[in-house]
Structure 1
């Protein structure tokens, strides 16, 4: 067990399977929990080559149009602060993966937003046009790259990652630093110090270009008369909460809108199912977040499809008094599947319409969690206010149009600059 927890929490953290035979459980023996761990071939600490860091610094010094891509590894390694130092020193434009959200404050001017399939226009165009991409703690996948053969086509790619398997797996790295970020990022910061303000000034023209794109093409959803827009939901919750709020999501359209619209300034305040993409992840994860951080407000954004996957956990919220606020974006469809079917399959919506779901407010209330619904945009702010003034766990069921899409969208196999844009402000 000691070894399992050590492996799970070091290197590239993740789940570990412990298989215990039944006869072990049935046996009486003296047990003393070990103080140390000794694993053959694994230390949990990984140092890299200083020469690789030097090459990365020199590449940054030569670049005129650099972009910093931050991933979940920055957060897992607790290295957000050193990376923020690099950003402030260089004034380098920043884009993030879904799992990297929070590594750089969303409200910083140089933060262009999420990159990839539902990334911002500015982020996707910056990656397409940059001459150097500094990827830190990032796992490249098709949701980030789009057409991998044409990803960052003009760029020298520098990849910092602890997992050697991820380097050159999907995207070729011209320079790679295979090491724990706790080893490599401080050395990167130190190597950049001699350049002072010179690189900040060198990148000024490039910053102007990408920040102009950011201003011209913000994230947006439709604002149809008499209906509640997804964007309005996140704006209302943002206004009702503080910067220590922890956001948890399930999987689907609401997950992408959460990443797009809810600004976070701290790491470990955005909890979501990344590569595995598991509907039903949200409610158990939100319970864990609240138990782990009892002083923080925990908000679960979910869909009317996802919430049904683990809705029985409302009884657990009530039983143990776990104060999670649940906001359902209710559109009577499996939103992301339905969006693909409408956009790319001539509207043949197979098994993605779920208008026959039970009344979610009655469902949660039956398990001891008070629920309320809202359909009118004029009543949204009051409904959100009541949600957060309710003592203990509570649910707010917010009805949105069934044909709302997440934009921008990069269709499967297309380049990042081949985005489908939509919404009035796109």
Structure 2
């Protein structure tokens, strides 16, 4: 699964404990590595990349393969196939160890009786959408929750600006995905900060009948910035609280895109069903707790095994 700053406990511990790390087309950015000097400290690192500049730029590769994956990965597959009968037995204990870590520390958000859980919301969306749904995100907490709780097992079915941090990316990207693949279900997962960056494009959805379903995780803060400020800056929440947001459902409706608002957990399944039953583009504005945090979290400059797991306690 996903590793790094908000990656899974199992993935981060696997990187920390492994003796061999095969990196395929990764640039080892700081969101992945944490404390780069102590990244995968026990591992022989093998780095495949088409761009020679990326090799040894941040993390030293003990073995590097500079070239197109279209020829290099099949060659690797041929080598592994020669040892396949032995590999399953040799690494079964390691697989069991990593799986047990995943079971012990799964991704989760709080279940509060009076508020919608981001986890339950995203799980309900997945439940009510087909397996080839294209998910698009903006930037922030909702982006990390989407990566944690939505299925990421098909190419070009999870569109996000990643570490570029481009708020406002989501709605235009979702439009492009729907126009490019009109037969697919396209869902934009966004935040109340990000959606306001390009909300004028609701008029484009309406004008051209572009069927994008928009789900806003609405917490009245710039979530990721606010989380950092609360956890690491003594609660000095500078310019990250936006409680005077306009009515997002009304904004969408005024531009021709039907909008609904959800506050109560008991109405979750019905509200999501209503969103997808709406013909054409539609918006569901879901209010979530202002103080909900994304866990695990690797604080800046810390090792991957120095995660904060919840309750603001380090692992």
TM-score by length of 1: 0.73
Residue in structure 2 matching 1:422, options 300, 307, 310: 310
Residue in structure 2 matching 1:164, options 48, 52, 67: 52
In the alignment, is the contact (CA less than 8 A) between 2:31 and 2:163 conserved in 1? no
Looking at structure 2, the residues matched to 277 and 167 of structure 1 have their Cα atoms a distance apart, in angstroms, of: 24
- How far apart are 1:265 and its partner, in Å? 2.6
Equivalent residue, structure 1, for 2:236: 348
Pairing 1:174–2:42 present: no
Larger radius of gyration between Structure 1 and Structure 2: 1
Equivalent residue, structure 2, for 1:138: 26
Residue in structure 1 matching 2:137, options 233, 249, 263: 249
Corresponding residue SS for 1:192: helix
Residue by residue, what CA displacement relative to the aligned partner does 1:188-243 show, whole Å, maximum 9, x if unpaired? Answer: 11111111221121101111111110111100001112110100110110110011
Residue in structure 2 matching 1:275, options 163, 179, 185: 163
Equivalent residue, structure 1, for 2:175: 287
In the alignment, is the contact (CA less than 8 A) between 1:374 and 1:399 conserved in 2? yes
- How far apart are 1:423 and its partner, in Å? 6.3
In the alignment, is the contact (CA less than 8 A) between 1:243 and 1:264 conserved in 2? no
Looking at structure 2, the residues matched to 196 and 408 of structure 1 have their Cα atoms a distance apart, in angstroms, of: 34
Corresponding residue SS for 2:296: coil
Looking at structure 1, the residues matched to 163 and 61 of structure 2 have their Cα atoms a distance apart, in angstroms, of: 21
TM-score by length of 2: 0.98
Pairing 1:264–2:152 present: yes
Residue by residue, what CA displacement relative to the aligned partner does 1:326-383 show, whole Å, maximum 9, x if unpaired? Answer: 0000000000000000000000000000111110001000100000000000001100
In the alignment, is the contact (CA less than 8 A) between 2:45 and 2:63 conserved in 1? yes
The equivalences for 1:5-24 within 5 A come to none
The equivalences for 1:356-371 within 5 A come to 356-371=244-259
Looking at structure 2, the residues matched to 273 and 286 of structure 1 have their Cα atoms a distance apart, in angstroms, of: 12
RMSD: 1.1
Structure 1 residues 295 and 423, CA gap change in structure 2 (3 angstroms): farther
Looking at structure 2, the residues matched to 207 and 236 of structure 1 have their Cα atoms a distance apart, in angstroms, of: 29
Structure 1 residues 397 and 128, CA gap change in structure 2 (3 angstroms): same
Residue by residue, what CA displacement relative to the aligned partner does 1:295-347 show, whole Å, maximum 9, x if unpaired? Answer: 11000000000000000000000000000000000000000000000000000
Equivalent residue, structure 1, for 2:3: 115
How many residue pairs match? The answer is: 313
Equivalent residue, structure 1, for 2:79: 191
Structure 1 spans left out of the alignment, 5+ residues: 1-112
Pairing 1:323–2:211 present: yes
In the alignment, is the contact (CA less than 8 A) between 1:243 and 1:265 conserved in 2? no
Pairing 1:386–2:274 present: yes
In the alignment, is the contact (CA less than 8 A) between 1:227 and 1:375 conserved in 2? yes
Corresponding residue SS for 2:310: coil
Looking at structure 2, the residues matched to 369 and 250 of structure 1 have their Cα atoms a distance apart, in angstroms, of: 19
Q: Which has the higher contact order (CA 8 A, sep 6+)?
A: 2
